[in-house]
């Protein structure tokens, strides 16, 4: 049963994936539409990385290096997916405040459409490569930490 107590592995995973989230957000900014400010994107994705690292990676790590690779890649995907979902939700709220939607169903549908649109826009080789390599490194580092201090 995973520990609910703070561990060194949870701390390392949360800090590492927060930093990875910040870095990936900075990489994505040139691919986003011009004329809008995205200064909240880096801290927002770092917060998602912090939560995912603590709640997902830190709890599951400790099953060896093979497991660490899978957990690291899963964490990277979760970071990308939750970041994209959060961004899409924020965009939908921003547009709904401008009365762009006729009802709540249309607004919810817009979250999916915005997510797909921005997901395709951000599926650039440098962003995906950084996320994959960073996730593998994060899984390895968290596993090493768990082995040494847990």
Taking only the tens place, the pLDDT of each residue in 35-47 is 777 888 899 999 9
Q: Which comes out higher in pLDDT, residue 10 or 101?
A: 10
pTM of the model: 0.87
- The angle that helices 104-121 and 65-96 make with each other, rounded to 10 degrees, is 130
The confidence score (pLDDT) of residue 146 equals: 86
Half-sphere exposure of 146 (CA within 13 A, CB side): 24
pLDDT of 51 strictly over 80? yes
Mean pLDDT of the chain: 88
pLDDT of 1 strictly over 50? no
CB 32 within 8 A of CB 121: yes
The confidence score (pLDDT) of residue 13 equals: 93
Q: 2 pLDDT band (50/70/90 cuts)?
A: low
Retrieve residue 98's tokens. 């401008």
As a whole number of angstroms, the distance between CA 37 and CA 125 comes to: 23
Q: Mean pLDDT over residues 129-139, rounded?
A: 95
Q: Sign of torsion, CA 43 48 51 53?
A: negative
The confidence score (pLDDT) of residue 11 equals: 92
Q: Mean pLDDT over residues 95-106, rounded?
A: 84
């Amino acid at each position: 049963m995973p520990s609910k107590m703070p561990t060194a592995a949870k701390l390392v995973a949360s800090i590492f994936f927060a930093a990875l989230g910040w870095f990936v957000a900075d990489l994505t900014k040139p691919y986003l539409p011009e004329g809008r400010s995205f200064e909240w994107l880096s801290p927002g994705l770092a917060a998602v990385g912090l939560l995912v690292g603590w709640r997902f990676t830190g709890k599951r790590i400790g099953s060896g290096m093979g497991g660490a690779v899978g957990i690291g890649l899963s964490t990277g995907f979760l970071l990308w997916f939750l970041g994209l979902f959060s961004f899409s939700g924020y965009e939908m709220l921003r547009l709904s405040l401008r009365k762009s939607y006729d009802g709540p169903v249309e607004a919810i549908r817009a979250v999916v459409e915005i997510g797909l649109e921005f997901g395709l826009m951000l599926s650039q080789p440098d962003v995906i490569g950084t996320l994959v390599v960073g996730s593998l490194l994060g899984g390895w580092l968290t596993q090493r930490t768990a082995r040494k201090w847990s």
